[in-house]
Structures are given as C-alpha cells and as structure tokens.
Structure 1
C-alpha cells in the first residue's frame, strides 16, 4: 500500500462522529424525541456527503438488514445468510421464495434513483397510481410524512409490512431531498409499532430513527474504510476484468464468483486473492457456492 493510499484511509477518521448527547438522552415526550431524530438525520446527511462513503454499497447492505427485519416480522426464520443465498445464488427460472422476494424488493427499492417507476419495480403487485397516492398522503415534517405513509398503507393493507416500510422510507427520502431510498425505519421499528396510529406511530418512528441512524453511520464508516483498502489493493490485480469486478464489490452487498466478468477459474482466483489481501471477505463459511463481499 502506498503512503498516499494509507493517508487516504487514515483520513476517514475525520468522518463526523455522532454527538454523544443524541444517543445518551432518554426522552419521553414526542417533542424531545423529534428533536433527537432530527439531529440524528442531520448527522447522517453530513456523513453521506463524504465521497469516501460507498453509497450504493451502503444502501444495499442496509437493504439486506431491512429485509431481515421484515422477514422476522412475518415470523419466518431466514436471516442474512439465507437471504443472500436466495438472491445471489438465484438461477434463471428459479423462484426466490417469500423471504427472497422480500430481499429483492428492498434491493430494487434502493438501487435506482427514487421515482414511482423505481418503486413500482420493487413492488410489482402495487399499482403505480396507488404508490403515488400513498406517497401523497404524507404531509408536514419528514418523519411525520413517513409515519403518515406507513399508517396509510397498513390501514388499507394490514399485511403489507414490506410495502409500507419501503414507501415510508421513500417518503422520508423525498422529504429530505435524497435521490435514493436509504433503508432506516425497518431497521429498528418493532412489529408492534406497525399497528400504532397517530402520535404513537410518529413517536415510534422518531425513536427508531435515532437508533437506525446510529447503526447506519457506523456501517458507513466501516464500509468507507473497507472500500478505501479495496481501492488501494486494486493496482495489484492483473486479471483482465479486475477493474469491473472491483466496481461490483463496491456497489453490492455480496458477489458470487460466477457473476464476475471473468472465466470461472479466474473469478475464483481473483476472489481468493482479494481475501488474502484483506480486501474482501468470504461471507458463507462454505467450501462451495461461496459469496464474497467488502
């Protein structure tokens, strides 16, 4: 690693840190919790403004965590490892199953710029007009808008937890002026919170956001460090197509060797080389059907 690259990685320590008072306070009133969630969201905005943070990778990994939470809400046993298998080892013509569908919905919701069309791709069973109508329900401040959308969707479709949470995060992103959905609400809302109404659901959303932003900021800092290291070792890779492979690792939660733009054997060698260099990790612990990620 060159000294320039090492300095670049060390500079990531300058990413703004969450003020301790945001997480140490124990507020009870809606007004106090709203103040803290606003401070947390502002801090996240500052972190996401740093070029070192791999935005697409962060969104994809948060999408996996949101999907894991939604699957748990439904009472299913699948966790991150099974969700990765259901999505990244999917072959043409295969069905991903209910848990896999949830993971695909979240991944599709975050991978393209926020629009009704992009949300319709994530939620193909919901008419675009209905998506637009639900998003228009949200009024007022960002978190209030998100809570109103969450409540409106679940009032009409009580079992549509995934659609409700995706659209609530979309409403939040719209209100904050973001061009992509960043999964936040699903990470820390409880299942019982989804059945609340009015001020109760707003309070639950504010509280969840304080916790989920802390998680998102920590993940952003970690991925920024890992992405910088991956870029630093990239010049050591001589395989044809290695540059495109690096870009895939920088934008996806997980990558199967078969998805890389190299012959099978060369792809496996590249993955093993990146593991040896400490630039990516093998995520499954298996000897076959492996998946790799930053």
Structure 2
C-alpha cells in the first residue's frame, strides 16, 4: 500500500470523519485488520493534504499524545498537563527532567521534514548512523515497516522505547510519502504491545494505527474550526506584535505569555483578550504560570 504525497494546495473538507465501517471493524484476522488500518490511513492521508488543516499544530498536539503514552510506558506519573509545564515553562539553564525530555524528543521529531539529520536532532543520544540503520531495517508495506523498525531498535536497545516509537512513525511517514513525522504509533499501543514480536506486533501496530488515525481525524476537524475562528478575530487585535503572536498559536500546542513577542503585561493582556474572544483557551486552570492554546 503506497500513497502519493499529499498535495497541500488542495482544499478539502477537513471534517470527513472516519466511516462507521472502518471504526467498527473488529477481527482477529491480520488480513482484515490490515485492510481497516489501510483504509483509516487513507482517510488521514486526504486530511494531511488539506490546506485548511493546521498541519504543524496538529503534529504538535499529536506529539503531546505520543509523549504522554511514552511516559506512561516508562511507569512515570506525568500526564499532558505536567508535560506542558515541563517544556513550556522551562527557563534558561533549567533541565526538563526525564518526562520533559521525552516530550521534547517528540516535538523536535515533528518540527522538520523527515530526515536522518532531523531525527538525530530529536534523539541526540542516538548516533545518526544507528538511526539510518534502524530506518533501513523496514521493508515491505507501510505497517510492516513500522513493526520491523520497532523490532530492529528493540533488538539492539531493548529499553529504547522513545527512539523506537519515533523511528516507527518516521518509517511510516517515509512509506506513505508524508513530509513530516505524524505521531500515531505510540498513542495507539499498550504497554503489553511493546513486548510483542512478529505477527503479534504487526497486528498490534495495525490496531494502533486504526485507533490513532481516527483520533487524528477528530483532532484535525476540531483544530481546523478553532484555527478558522482565531484567524477571523485576529484583525481585531490592536497590540503591536499581535500578528506574530497569533502565528505562534497556529503552530504550537501551548504557549506561555512570556514566549510571545510582546512585553510581559501586553502578552498577558493579549492572551486574556483571545480567551474573551473564544479564540484560545487557558490550559492550566491556574491564576499564575498560565499556558494558552487553540
């Protein structure tokens, strides 16, 4: 199964949803599950070619889901809120901690087009030659490649779950002609799946991609609506630097006021104004150290 690269000049309906016959697929047959996951990836492929979908923002939010899954696999307690704090409230000289490092790896993995160099930047503790070797281990149809890359990494580095899962998504992107890593594999797997090999692992990957593609479609529709509203209210913002600030919200899962290109007080006022306009949400529920996102 191969797809042509997405044509980002197309304007498609970004809210097609997952057909019921795909969502409701239940089978113990590898052939049937493979057919369903292929259909789900085909639906997602169309959305990734739609210019109305905020692609960078979608990838960044999926990176958070993938990081949350990896943190859970490691037995750590941090979830999405703590991961956002660990990365977006990081001050110069601070260390993000183990969970924050996982999140940073995923964020860096989705930022740049897929390449060994970009993946080495995301996984600084893994040699580029090893990344290239593991990616080359994948052969055959896309999901088979995913499983083969996972097995190749775990054979040499049994505890390297984050590199294995990042490279699995990179192999999927390369197989499907996607320009960037789209985090799908990790969030759909269970901890028990990480111990599977051979046909059992391929079955787990198909099921993971079926579930994650459905979630990515739902998320893309939600983000498309929210981004359209943000763009609609943007002309009403009068603060200097507001345009650059809006651009940051269009590509980042979460933004701290301190990260915006405005003085501190002006940045906080802008965020409050965007919340008032229903264009962004305050994500923490706190009175201080707040984070905002579409």
Q: State the TM-score, normalizing by the size of structure 2.
A: 0.95
**1:48, CA displacement in angstroms?**
1.5
Show the counterpart of 1:50. Answer: 50
* 1:91 equivalenced with 2:75 (yes/no): no
Show the counterpart of 1:118. Answer: 118
1:235-274 matches, within 5 Å, as 235-274=235-274
**1:229, CA displacement in angstroms?**
0.2
**1:85, CA displacement in angstroms?**
0.4
* 1:64 equivalenced with 2:56 (yes/no): no
Q: Is the 8 A contact 2:229 2:279 kept in 1?
A: yes
Q: Is the 8 A contact 1:22 1:36 kept in 2?
A: yes
Q: Is the 8 A contact 1:12 1:224 kept in 2?
A: no
Show the counterpart of 2:205. Answer: 205
SS of the residue corresponding to residue 284 of structure 2 reads coil
**1:15, CA displacement in angstroms?**
2.9
Q: More displaced, 16-25 or 28-37?
A: 16-25
Show the counterpart of 1:187. Answer: 187
Equivalences, count: 284
Show the counterpart of 2:220. Answer: 220
**1:255, CA displacement in angstroms?**
0.3
Alpha-carbon separation, structure 1, partners of 2:13 and 2:130: 44
1:20-31 matches, within 5 Å, as 20-31=20-31
Q: Is the 8 A contact 2:15 2:218 kept in 1?
A: no
Alpha-carbon separation, structure 2, partners of 1:45 and 1:177: 9
Runs of 4+ in 1 over 6 A off after TM superposition: 11-14
**1:16, CA displacement in angstroms?**
2.0
Alpha-carbon separation, structure 2, partners of 1:90 and 1:14: 34
Show the counterpart of 1:292. Answer: 292
Alpha-carbon separation, structure 1, partners of 2:254 and 2:161: 25
Show the counterpart of 1:100. Answer: 100
Q: Is the 8 A contact 2:18 2:43 kept in 1?
A: yes
**1:13, CA displacement in angstroms?**
6.4
String of CA shifts for 1:206-230, please: whole Å, max 9, x gaps.
Answer: 0111000000100000000000000
Q: Is the 8 A contact 1:12 1:225 kept in 2?
A: no
Show the counterpart of 2:7. Answer: none
Alpha-carbon separation, structure 2, partners of 1:222 and 1:70: 24
Consecutive unaligned residues in structure 2, runs of 5 or more: 1-10
SS of the residue corresponding to residue 158 of structure 1 reads coil
Alpha-carbon separation, structure 2, partners of 1:282 and 1:106: 23
Show the counterpart of 2:5. Answer: none
**1:188, CA displacement in angstroms?**
1.0
String of CA shifts for 1:257-278, please: whole Å, max 9, x gaps.
Answer: 0000001110000000000000
Q: Is the 8 A contact 1:255 1:292 kept in 2?
A: yes
Alpha-carbon separation, structure 1, partners of 2:91 and 2:25: 48
Bigger helix share: 1
Q: Is the 8 A contact 1:58 1:220 kept in 2?
A: yes
Alpha-carbon separation, structure 2, partners of 1:15 and 1:254: 23
Show the counterpart of 2:40. Answer: 40
Show the counterpart of 2:8. Answer: none
String of CA shifts for 1:181-217, please: whole Å, max 9, x gaps.
Answer: 0000001101111111111100100011100000010
Alpha-carbon separation, structure 2, partners of 1:135 and 1:247: 33
Q: State the TM-score, normalizing by the size of structure 1.
A: 0.95
Alpha-carbon separation, structure 2, partners of 1:25 and 1:49: 25
Consecutive unaligned residues in structure 1, runs of 5 or more: 1-10
**1:139, CA displacement in angstroms?**
0.2
